[in-house]
A and B are shown apart, each in its own frame.
Chain A
Amino acid sequence: MSLRTPLSKVIGRGSAGEGVGHWWVQRVTAVALLPLTAWFVISLLGQSLQSYDAMRGWLGQPWVAVPTILLVFTLAWHSKLGVQVVIEDYVHAKGAKTTLLLLSTFVHIGAAVAGIFAILALALS
């Protein structure tokens, strides 16, 4: 016997009232990050990190800049969702929880914008 109402089954949002959106996007971004991070780390480790000109020239290329923008965007999103779960699980005081969640959201969006801006500035100048 199910205690769920027909309406709750149709809406499909479960007991937390939020559905599976968070869980699913965490997986979608995880799958996207597998090739993006693997490509970036392998490519980066082949560069001369100490040379400003070499790094600038490498990151400014269209076929490097675009996947790196995708990487920054997807990393920020995945990280935001993950940090959110950690805060929700371990911080129970309502004020502290809300403050930390807001702070995490702002830091992640700020970092994403800064990272993407930096890559565009290198690629388009």
Chain B
Amino acid sequence: MNQRPLSPHLGVYKFMYTMSLSILHRITGCAAAVGFLLFVWWLMALASGPAAYASAMGALGSPLAKLLLVGFTFSFVYHFCNGIRHLVWDTGRGLERAQARRSGTVVVVAALLLTAVAVWFGCRAFGISP
């Protein structure tokens, strides 16, 4: 087998926090893909009738499911915010080191704040007092 190096060869880089944000973009993207399947399952439960919907909502109400929902919410929100950052980079803007670091901080803060807001409204939509 040909032993040429295959991308991505992460070991050659010095660790920087912008790098962890980039890796987090992938991880949250994968989590959001699972969240998408959960969303479709929920749509199918709604289309299947009141009994199926009630049992789906019951399953989503368990403590573990609630924790997972918060995780999916953060994954989606982070991927959304950092995705905007990537789209701006695609236009050739914001690629200087200082700019990329600053936008990274903005994305993390925005993602945490928006997750908190979404969880608060999510509790209300679920009928739980936040």
What's the Cα separation between A56 and B39 when bound, in Å?
A: 15
Q: Among A55, A92, A115, A121, point to the contact of B6 (Cβ < 8 A).
A: A92
Using CB atoms, name the residue of chain B closest to A85.
B26
Q: Distance in Å from the Cβ of A114 to the closest Cβ of chain B? A: 5
Contact with B along A28-54 (1 / 0, CB 8 A): 001101100110010011111110100
The number of A-B residue pairs with CB atoms under 8 Å apart is 86
Q: Distance in Å from the Cβ of A87 to the closest Cβ of chain B? A: 10
The stretch among B11-19, B43-51, B105-113 that forms the contact with chain A is B43-51
Chain A residues with Cβ below 8 Å from B122 are 45
Size category, A interface:
35 or more
Contact with B along A73-89 (1 / 0, CB 8 A): 00110010011001001
Chain B residues with Cβ below 8 Å from A106 are none
A27-B87, A72-B40, A83-B30 given as contacts; is B125 within 8 A of A118 (CB)? Answer: no
A27-B87, A34-B84, A55-B53 given as contacts; is B36 within 8 A of A111 (CB)? Answer: yes
Q: Distance in Å from the Cβ of A5 to the closest Cβ of chain B? A: 22
Using CB atoms, name the residue of chain B closest to A45.
B121
Chain A residues with Cβ below 8 Å from B118 are 41, 45
What's the Cα separation between A46 and B124 when bound, in Å?
A: 8
Are A111 and B87 within 8 A (Cβ)? no
Chain A residues with Cβ below 8 Å from B32 are 79
Contact with A along B45-79 (1 / 0, CB 8 A): 01100100110010000000000000000001000
Question: DSSP class of B's interface residues: helix, strand, loop or mixed?
Answer: helix
Q: Distance in Å from the Cβ of B89 to the closest Cβ of chain A? A: 11
Using a CB-CB cutoff of 8 Å, which residues 86-125 of chain A contact chain B?
86, 89, 92, 107, 111, 114-115, 117-119, 121-122
Question: DSSP class of A's interface residues: helix, strand, loop or mixed?
Answer: helix
Using CB atoms, name the residue of chain A closest to B32.
A79
Are B46 and A52 within 8 A (Cβ)? yes
What's the Cα separation between A37 and B83 when bound, in Å?
A: 13
Chain A residues with Cβ below 8 Å from B84 are 34
* Interface residue A64 (Cβ < 8 Å from any Cβ of B): no
Q: Among A41, A76, A89, A119, point to the contact of B43 (Cβ < 8 A).
A: A119
Q: Distance in Å from the Cβ of B33 to the closest Cβ of chain A? A: 4
A-B residue pairs in contact (CB < 8 Å), sample of 5? A30-B86, A38-B80, A45-B121, A45-B122, A86-B30
